[in-house]
Amino acid sequence: MRILYFKFRALVVTWLLRLIPRNAPVVYKGAGSAIALAEQVAILGLGKLLIVTDEFLANSGILDGIKQQLDKDGVAYAIFDGVLPDPSFDQVQAGEALLRTERCEAVMAVGGGSVLDAGKLIALLHTNPGDLKAFDGIQKAKHPGVPLLAIPTTAGTGSEITFASVITDPLSHRKVPVIDSKLIPGYVALDADIMKGMPPGITAATGMDALTHAVESYLSTASTAATELQAKAAVRLIFKYLAKAWHDGADMEARDAMAVAAFYAGSAFGRTSVGYVHGIAHQLGRICQTPHGNANAMVLPEVLAAYGNCVHARLADLAILTGLGDDGDDSATLANRFIQAIIDLRTEMDLPLKPKGLQAGHITDIVKEAVTETGDLYPVPRYLSDMEITAIVRGLLPAN
């Protein structure tokens, strides 16, 4: 009965994802595009911005060029730098309070996925006041948010193009998914210049996050010809450029390609959702505070292997796409090569493979919540058993 319920939920989610209206943002791309976007603020007639970021970025100098351009154009701004990893309700509420008291007309979010998610919700909360729990679900907000501009500083989450934000309930520590077309930013800058200072560990983790989005989108039963085109483009770019960006953060070609890859992957999974990798990774974040990209990397190849032969043909497509074989090879062989290539990539980039603080006593809770989240939200190619998920999570325990 549980599988029948999950299949019904998958049909509902797929239907809802395809019905959600989607506005395409205006996108500026390439080195210096963040400054070009800042220049547009005055042209758009916006008199005052709330710049949403985190404390590190606020003090890093990354905002200097943006602020100089705003000053030059006579645009006033206030800065909210209180966003933390996996932002919670109180951070969004504090940001909206500053937006309100400073009488800002728009939000410019500059940062990684946590900052972008918080910025999107700050903009939405301002025109839809109330309890953030009311946004839990699909298309719950009644009114569009204030104008929203997004400048990602990492190449991974794709939050700059998705109609989703994840916010943490500080009491239950549950990650609340908010899915609403009103969350899509109106303006985006994919600026490789801003990303060149990303540390190698963050480059690796966010890149694996983008890869997870692309692969899970491609395997989703909600995939379409349009999302498959974007997912494959993202996979192609990530396999070609992620390791290069990790080895040399100043490689602007690699940085630019990874920014585009994350954007493509975000666009794809925004229409298809994700799968068990995210279902498990979200629990590792909740219990062990494992950064999301690292958590995805820890279980991506293991989940793909667990799906078995139902995904072999699809993974074979990706193997051929990335030069791991040709059409004449057996699909199972190609699928295994693709899975091994992901293992090799995370090993090359020295990504952590074990969540800090994970204990055997956590496994039952992780499995239960991963099963519920995935069954309720994600149109996966096959529903894994509790035993299969338990084996994956147990493999993350530290060696005795």
pTM confidence score: 0.93
Structural domain boundaries in the chain: 23-195, 200-394
Can you tell me the mean pLDDT for 8-21?
74
Model confidence over 62-99: pLDDT tens digits? 999 999 999 999 999 999 999 998 888 999 999 999 99
Strands 187-190 and 148-152: parallel
Name the pLDDT band for 23 (thresholds 50, 70, 90): confident
Closest CA to 92 of 126, 63, 138, 141: 126
Q: Are 83 and 117 spatial neighbours (Cβ–Cβ below 8 Å)?
A: no
* Predicted pLDDT at 4: 81
Amino acid at 310: C
Model confidence over 201-231: pLDDT tens digits? 999 999 999 999 999 999 999 999 999 999 9
Q: Are 146 and 126 spatial neighbours (Cβ–Cβ below 8 Å)?
A: yes
Q: If you classify domain 200-394 with CATH, what class do you get?
A: mainly alpha
Do 23-195 and 200-394 show the same overall fold? Answer: no
CA-to-CA distance for 304 and 299, rounded, in angstroms?
Answer: 9
Q: If you classify domain 23-195 with CATH, what class do you get?
A: alpha beta
Name the pLDDT band for 238 (thresholds 50, 70, 90): very high
Tokens coding 160: 């700059």
Strands 106-111 and 148-152: parallel
* Predicted pLDDT at 400: 66
